[in-house]
Amino acid sequence: MLETRALRSAYGRIEVLHGIDLVVREGETVALVGANGAGKTTLMRALAGVQPVCGGEAWFRGRALARVPAWRRVGLGLAHVPEGRQIFCDLTVEDNLRLGAWATDRTHVAEGLAEAYQMFPVLGEKRRLPAGGLSGGQQQMLALARALMARPVCLLLDEPSMGLAPALIDEIFDVIAGLARRGLTVVLVEQNAAVALSVADRAYVLENGVITLEGAASDLVKDDRVRAAYLGI
């Protein structure tokens, strides 16, 4: 479904991704685990098309992504929930969701809204309020629900648990696990490696812009290096 080969990316002259080979198969949940600054977010942004790529290739559903601008990738079925939520603070909750369906043919907007409010009832209660007034957890729910409005086949999730209370983290991850069960392909970047590995089928460990380890999530949980470095065990 999603594949990269020798993907490189840089901020100015400083290269932060040194040739990433990544394969995500249809229906899989794949976690990217790594320390701060390892390049996880950069990789996600490159896949979404908002970070320039300076080498290598990427494909989504067999289509080369190099010349596809970010705004067209949504229409292809690749949705990105960026780090730090990035909602439209000045617009209402419902307008945020409606704009989430911007790239689609918009025949499913009413249905999508109903699903979003069923998934996160608090968004339904606050649908006429400016999104900037939501709490951090509610903004994360909105960012996720907005991405789902585009009816993606593959979801790139960057740090969905950042800054959230433990109860909310559980709620968000229940939703993510539910989406994965329904067949959505998910690529998940998560600081909290234990949570990430518990929902993922497979995982990649990223260190200083290169992939150092990959495998089934259940195997990585048992890997001594992963346990020492990321699980704190």
Interacting residues toward another protein by CB under 8 A: 48-50, 69-75, 79-80, 82, 86-91, 95, 98-100, 102-104, 146-147, 149-150
Rounded Cα distance, 186 and 199, in Å:
10
Least distance in Å: CB of 220 to another protein? Answer: 29
Give 79 or 169: the residue with its C-beta nearer to another protein. 79
Give 79 or 226: the residue with its C-beta nearer to another protein. 79
Contacts of 117 (CB under 8 A, 6+ apart): 123, 124, 127
Which pair of structure tokens corresponds to residue 190?
Answer: 């998560």
Least distance in Å: CB of 222 to another protein? Answer: 36
Q: Around 158, how many Cα atoms within 13 Å sit in the side-chain half-sphere?
A: 19
Q: Tally the residues of the chain.
A: 233
Q: What are phi and psi of 180, to 5 degrees?
A: -65, -40
Give 29 or 96: the residue with its C-beta nearer to another protein. 96
Least distance in Å: CB of 88 to another protein? Answer: 4
Give 48 or 200: the residue with its C-beta nearer to another protein. 48
Least distance in Å: CB of 98 to another protein? Answer: 6
Give 89 or 165: the residue with its C-beta nearer to another protein. 89
Rounded Cα distance, 150 and 104, in Å:
6
- E strands, the chain, are 2-11, 14-24, 29-34, 53-60, 63-64, 78-81, 154-158, 185-189, 202-207, 210-216
Rounded Cα distance, 16 and 10, in Å:
5
> Is the CA virtual torsion 193, 194, 200, 201 positive or negative?
positive
Least distance in Å: CB of 39 to another protein? Answer: 18
Least distance in Å: CB of 123 to another protein? Answer: 16
Give 75 or 215: the residue with its C-beta nearer to another protein. 75
Are 17 and 9 in contact, with CB atoms under 8 Å apart? yes
